Amino acid sequence: MFSDSNPLVNKIRYYSGFVMVVLYLIIGLLFLFSDIAIQTFPAYREPVGGLLIAYAAFRLYSTIKKGRQMEE
């Protein structure tokens, strides 16, 4: 439907990548430092929060890398 050469689509993908990074980071921090989902994940909240923060870091790296490739 959309080609990868469309600059508008590439910009939307680029900025939505940053939005997802922020969402994963916020949810990970909520799991680590608040009582959210304490009944649902009583023993696994800290590892899940850590995994979400690590995934946010990975997404940030890959989004920045793709953005640099778009500029070239």
Q: What is the pTM (predicted TM-score) of this model?
A: 0.80
**Average pLDDT estimate for 25-31:** 93
What is the enclosing helix (H) or strand (E) of 6? none
Q: How many CA atoms lie within 13 A of 56 on its CB side?
A: 18
Whole-number Cα distances in Å, 12 to 6, 9, 16, 45, 68: 10, 5, 6, 32, 15
Average pLDDT, the chain: 86
| Residue 3 scores a pLDDT above 80 | no
Q: What is the pLDDT of residue 62?
A: 92
- Alpha-carbon 15 to chain mean position: 11
Highest mean pLDDT (candidates 4-8, 21-25, 46-50): 21-25
DSSP H/E element including 56: helix 45-71
